[in-house]
Amino acid sequence: MRLDKFLKVSRLIKRRTVAKDVSDQGRVLLNGKEAKPGSVVKPGDELEIQFGQRIVTVRVERLAESAKKEDTDTLYTVLKEEFRKNDGPTFP
């Protein structure tokens, strides 16, 4: 399944066009490598997605052409969620 479609079906990102834009900007890593919207996603793959200052790492558990909202949590497992520190000046 295409990366942009998986992100949309799993509801990690709400719209496929937004998923495509995020991938094009280099904010999605597939198994540690920068991923394009058309990259093929398989069960067992790890995705690292950057949402602003938040980085979410998930493992793909299964694929589905469509999924109900309540079933989306079975498509992936969240492995890690971290926040990057602001690189701005620090004050005492």
14-50 residue pLDDT tens: 999 999 999 999 999 999 999 999 999 999 999 999 9
Has residue 92 been placed in a domain?
no
Which pLDDT score is estimated for 61? 95
Residue span of the structural domain in which 55 resides: 3-83
Which pLDDT score is estimated for 55? 94
The set of long-range contacts for 33-37, using a CB threshold of 8 Å and a minimum separation of 24, is: 35/3, 36/3, 37/2, 37/3, 37/4
Q: Domain total for the chain?
A: 1
pLDDT band at 56 (very low <50, low <70, confident <90, very high): very high
Q: Which residue has the higher pLDDT, 90 or 80?
A: 80
89 has a pLDDT exceeding 60: no
Tokens 């926040």 correspond to: 83
Give the domain CATH number at 8. 3.10.290.10
